[in-house]
Amino acid sequence: MSSSNPYQVAVDQVRSAATALKLDEGTVNILVRSRRELVINFPVKMDDGSLRVFTGYRVQHNNARGPYKGGVRYHPSVSLEEMRALAMWMTWKCALVGIPFGGAKGGVMCDPKQLSRSELERMTRRFAWELSPVIGPHVDIPAPDAYTNAQTMSWIMDAYSANVGHSVPAVVTGKPVSLGGSEGREEATSRGLMHCLREALRYRKLSPQGSTVSVQGFGNVGSNAARLLRDELGMKVIAVSDSTGGIYDPSGLDIKKVSEHKEATGSVRDLPSATNITNEELLELECTVLVPAALGEVITEHNADDIKASLVIEGANGPTLPEADRILYEKGCMLIPDVLANAGGVTASYFEWVQDLQYQFWTRSEVNQRLDRTMTSAFGRVLTSSLNEGTDMRTAAYMLAVREVVTAMELRGIYP
Ligand code: GLU
């Protein structure tokens, strides 16, 4: 792990797009800052009767194009700087796929693995109560992120609804289907990633069946990506990993077996028939496609040269540092950036929000078809722009997204 600051990375990325777009410094100064930053220190009663104070955040970056939107994560690394970067990335992501949202991110600094279910529930409800004044279905709509899930969203929805006195399903997305969640939302990030990868392989004239893939991370994004890339695209998944380490099998892993093994043992490691490897080794394996789908800052100037994949597709937010971007681009490796590659999650969140506001629900195949259309068209736009501008895919994506946001800001003007 590099010790670089994710917010600085996010600022550098916007600045290079702003230079290419010839934006004035005043506008850039708005874009590189969050609009609002809420820091909350809140007490939670632990199971042993003691009181513990947790620190949580909600950073709202930009709402020129619509309500703030973005996930909530529970992790020891959660910090204001990290939230700032992640909130900014949400703004670009929503603009890039053309959904009417701005960007936000929240989180609580904690180790969710050390908390019991009832502690997690009390922490989540209190955090949601503290967030109530700044969130809402037309204001800011949280969703799951690292180490939060549909149950977390149910608690947030319930706590917010109790506060306002009636049920408000559209205040969060990523809920269970029984509470107004959308069919297909859970796997949507990975399904969207699969659509992008399908298009990228087609562009590079590579057949999915003849391609191998390594997936770092076995949470919601990584595990569903490994399954979908194998079962629906027919790719051979040769390595996967989680926070404890990884496994490698050149003849291809059976992802269902890996999931059952992780369910039973708590880790993907020690799967009979596979070889244990480290997370670092996974990144450098000989394969066609690398999917970093764990946490940020894993591809750096120190290992970028050793990456052998010809395509890197970012399931995680911020896995690649700017210097590594340059190294990969120069050696002809196509990197499909997070703001495009993992935008399927927030796209399906948008579908969920629309359904909740209308109290009318779509079938899974309707959701999946709309998702495919959105992702395929966004990929096409980014690829065309990268070829026209002669830039890497990240710069191309930023140029398209930043231009959209700036257009909305200019149309609205400065008021009061
Ligand atoms: N946390 C996801 C992301 O980083 C989803 C956000 C959302 O659905 O609002 O894109």
Q: Class of the 188-341 domain? A: alpha beta
CA of 71 to the centre of ligand 1 (A): 5
Q: Is 352 in the pocket of ligand 1 (CB under 6 A)?
A: no
CA of 143 to the centre of ligand 1 (A): 6
Q: Is 69 in the pocket of ligand 1 (CB under 6 A)?
A: yes
- Say which residues have a Cβ less than 8 Å from residue 241's Cβ, sequence separation at least 6: 215, 216, 217, 218, 247, 268, 277, 279, 282, 294
CA of 343 to the centre of ligand 1 (A): 7
Q: What is the pLDDT of residue 287?
A: 98
Tens digit of each residue's pLDDT (9 = 90 or more) over 204-251: 999 999 999 999 999 999 999 999 999 999 999 999 999 999 999 999
Q: What is the pLDDT of residue 330?
A: 97
| Catalytically annotated residues | 105
Mutate which of 73, 89, 295, 346 for ligand 1 pocket (most atoms within 8 A of beta carbon): 346
Tens digit of each residue's pLDDT (9 = 90 or more) over 147-194: 999 999 999 999 999 999 999 999 999 999 999 999 999 999 999 999
Measured from the Cα of 141, ligand 1's closest atom is 9
Query: Of all protein residues, whose CA lies closest to atom 7 belonging to ligand 1?
Result: 346
Mutate which of 189, 224, 340 for ligand 1 pocket (most atoms within 8 A of beta carbon): 189
Contact 21, 404 (CB under 8 A): no
Q: What is the pLDDT of residue 2?
A: 45
Rounded to the nearest 10 degrees, the angle between the axes of helix 393-412 and helix 364-389 is: 100
Contact 384, 229 (CB under 8 A): no
Positions of CATH 3.40.50.720 in the chain: 188-341
**pTM for the structure as a whole:** 0.97
Q: Is 317 in the pocket of ligand 1 (CB under 6 A)?
A: yes
Q: What is the pLDDT of residue 4?
A: 75
Q: Is the dihedral of CA 170, 79, 113, 281 positive or negative?
A: positive
Positions of CATH 3.40.50.10860 in the chain: 39-179
Measured from the Cα of 174, ligand 1's closest atom is 8
CA of 346 to the centre of ligand 1 (A): 5
Which residues of the chain are modeled with pLDDT < 50?
1-2
Contact 359, 182 (CB under 8 A): no
Q: List the CATH code of the domain at 39-179.
A: 3.40.50.10860
Q: Is 82 in the pocket of ligand 1 (CB under 6 A)?
A: no
Q: Is 105 in the pocket of ligand 1 (CB under 6 A)?
A: no
CA of 170 to the centre of ligand 1 (A): 15
